[in-house]
Amino acid sequence: MGNVPFFPVQASTMAPQVDALFAFLMAITAFFSLLIALLIVVLVIRYHHKTDADRQGANNSHLVLELVWTGIPLGIVMVVFVWGADVFYRMKTVPPNALQIYVVGKQWMWKIQHPEGQREINELHVPVGQPIELTMISEDVVHDFAVPAFRMKEDVLPGRYTHQWFEATKVGEYHLFCDQYCGTLHSGMTGRVTVMEPKDFANWLAHWTRPSGVMTSSGAELFQRMACATCHLPSGAGRGPSLTGLYGKTVTLQDGRTITADDTYIRESILKPAAKIVRGISLSCHRFKTSWMSKA
């Protein structure tokens, strides 16, 4: 029974932070559970009806005592709240130098694509010591990309991108689970995250047999092939708005609202061009009725 784990491996920068929080909460839980258990045992023994303990002068209420045992837990949970929120905030704040990797969840597999075009299924190879941002979307139902060794998880939603990031600290292979129930073979929607030394990772990338094209250049190729470029001229003089440098900017819509051109907005505009039309553009792009992107 030597290899039965009691505690998960710490393999990311977040893992020790989550575990520290856990240790603190475990201490509190153990302390109060044992305190209550001990009190019950001691009081039951001492005041068992067969003993002749002194039972005079028992109070029915005690305001100070009530305030104390309202106040102390309140103080403790406020500490826990602030600490937990701080850790969570760090989990949600992606470092600027993070490497982008794209995840598509579908019943019942994980499809992963690296920026240089390498694709994997139910496998994720990453270099150690490098922050990685996962941009995730689902093709069907809600999934959840969870790697316990990294102490991270986030639901993968259909119709909207969600993100999470990690920085692996330990070379090795780790479980990847789908943590949100997603149908018949939910149990089988598992995979493996392989953390490698940077040079091994570079090798792995280079030895990729048939890269399907760097993501940006295949995007550019599609932009030409699907004739997007005929309307969306870089100068803005075309029938469609210029898309140059659009990502991350704020655009004004027809109804006067402003919106940030993020992943979700751009994806929506490709799939459903009429959903949010930029001010000054009269017609909508009828190019794509079907969601070709999800097939890509």
Partner 1 sequence: MSDRDLSHQFETLEQQALASSLGIWVFLATEVLFFGGLFLLYTVYRIKYPAAFMESSKLMDIKLGVINTAILLTSSLTMALAVHSAEEGEKKQATLRWLFLTMFLGIVFLGIKGIEYHHKFVEHLVPGPDFVLESINQQQAQIFFGLYFAMTGLHALHMIIGLGVLSVMGGMTWMGKFTKAYSNPIHVAGLYWHFVDVLWIFLFPLLYLIGNR
Partner 2 sequence: MTTSAQAKNYITNDYHVWSWVATRDHKRIALMYLVAITSFFFLGGLAALAMRLQLLTPHTELVQAETYNKLFTLHGVTMVFFFLIPGIPAVLGNFLLPLMLGSRDLAFPRLNLASFYVYLLGASFTLAAAVLGGVDTGWTFYTPYSSTYSNTHVITMGIGIFITGFSSILTGLNFIVTTHTMRAPGLTWFRLPLFVWALYATSLIIVLGTPVIAVTLLLLILERGFHMGIFDPALGGDPLLFQHLFWFYSHPAVYIMVLPSMGVVSELIPCFARKRIFGYNFIAFSSLAIAILGFFVWGHHMFISGQSLYAGLIFSFLSFLVAIPSAVKVFNWTATLYKGRIYLRTPMLYALGFIGLFTIGGLTGIMLACLGLDAHVHDTYFIIAHFHYIMVGGTIMAYLGGIHFWWPKISGKLYPEFWGKLSAMIVFVGFNLTFFPQFILGYLGMPRRISTYPPEFQVFNVMSTAGATILGVGYLMPFIYLIWSLRYGKDAGPNPWNATGLEWTTASPPPTENFAEVPTVSEEAYDYRSRPEIGNV
- Give me the least distance between CB of 279 and partner 1, in Å please: 12
CA distances from 116 to 96, 127, 212 (A): 19, 14, 8
Q: Name the nearest CA neighbour of 172 among 149, 202, 191.
A: 149
Select from 14-22, 199-207, 214-222, 238-246 the region that touches partner 2 (CB under 8 A). Answer: 14-22
Looking only at residues 273 through 292 of this chain, which bind partner 1 when binding is defined by CB under 8 A?
274-275
**Nearby residues of 186 by Cβ (< 8 Å), 6 or more positions away:** 108, 178
Residue 195 CA to residue 76 CA, distance in Å, equals 37
CB proximity list for 65: less than 8 A, separation 6 or greater? none
| Residue 27 interacting partner from partner 2, partner 1, none (CB closer than 5 to 8 Å by kind) | none
Letters for 217-236 (x = contact with partner 2 by CB under 8 A, - = none) are --------------------
| Residue in the structure block whose two tokens are 């760090």 | 90
Nearer to partner 2, 73 or 211 (CB): 73
For residue 63, the 8-state DSSP code is: H
Q: Is 53 in the site for partner 2 (CB under 8 A)?
A: yes
**Per-residue contact flags (x/-) with partner 2 for residues 97 to 116, judged by CB under 8 A:** ----------x---------
Footprint of partner 2 on residues 137-176 (CB under 8 A)?
A: 140-142, 144, 146, 148-149, 151-155, 157-160, 162, 175
> How many CB atoms are located within 10 Å of the residue 294 CB?
15
Interface of this chain with partner 1, residues 242 to 271, rule: CB under 8 A: 254-255, 257
| Number of chain positions touching partner 2 (CB under 8 A) | 88
Q: Which is nearer to partner 2, 53 or 206 (CB)?
A: 53
Residue 256 and residue 252: Cα distance in Å, rounded?
6
